[in-house]
Chain A
Amino acid sequence: MVYIKEAHPSDGWAMPDRNERRGISVRDPKSYDERVKVADRACSALKIKLPCLVDGMDNAVNKAYAAWPDRIYVVDIHGKIAVAGGQGPRGFVPAMGETREWLEQHAR
């Protein structure tokens, strides 16, 4: 997982009905150290087993992949984009299916 800029921080585009109701209230990290702490909290709370990388405060990787608020890509063995998931949140779930299908066909 690549942890990127918060989608709906409490001090930004907050979505209290969706997040605070579930006990999630996060202010937008203002430093890399804060971002790492929130990433750690997120990965623990969401029980994410994938290795978790943290984007820099310049959001360079987020920008390169137009990733915000969430998105999935598969990069093939040649370093090319094999699956380009749609922009989240709507594109995220369909991309999970595309990713599964691609992996079943190519990564055995």
Chain B
Amino acid sequence: MAALVACVAVSWAQPRSGRHSGDLRMPDTLRVGDAAPDFKLKTKDGTRDVQLSGFKGKRPVVLVFGSYT
């Protein structure tokens, strides 16, 4: 019984969120119809700067964000 009480006490003492310190997710801020934040980034080969607003009036852009892992 003492062990059970100890387990319950430890459980209550744990952070409620259970979120890993490496979890860097941010709250959603952009909604359909919002202005897309402009940016200018280099291509990975460093040969070209691409600015999102450069596509305005020309064509839609699909932004796929991600990493290797």
Chain A residues packing against B (C-beta within 8 Å)? 1-9, 12-13, 15, 19, 24, 26, 36, 38-43, 45-46, 50-56, 60-84, 87-88, 99, 103, 106-107
Contact = CB atoms under 8 A, between A and B. Distances in A.
A73 B43 contact: no
A14 B58 CA distance: 41
Given A55-B41, A82-B32, A72 B65 contact: yes
A1 B31 contact: no
Contacts of B43: 51-54
A17 to B, nearest CB: 12
Given A2-B41, A4-B67, A54-B41, A81 B59 contact: no
Contacts of B23: 13
A55 B43 CA distance: 9
Nearest to B69: A8
A106 B37 CA distance: 21
A64 B39 contact: yes
Contacts of B22: 8, 12-13
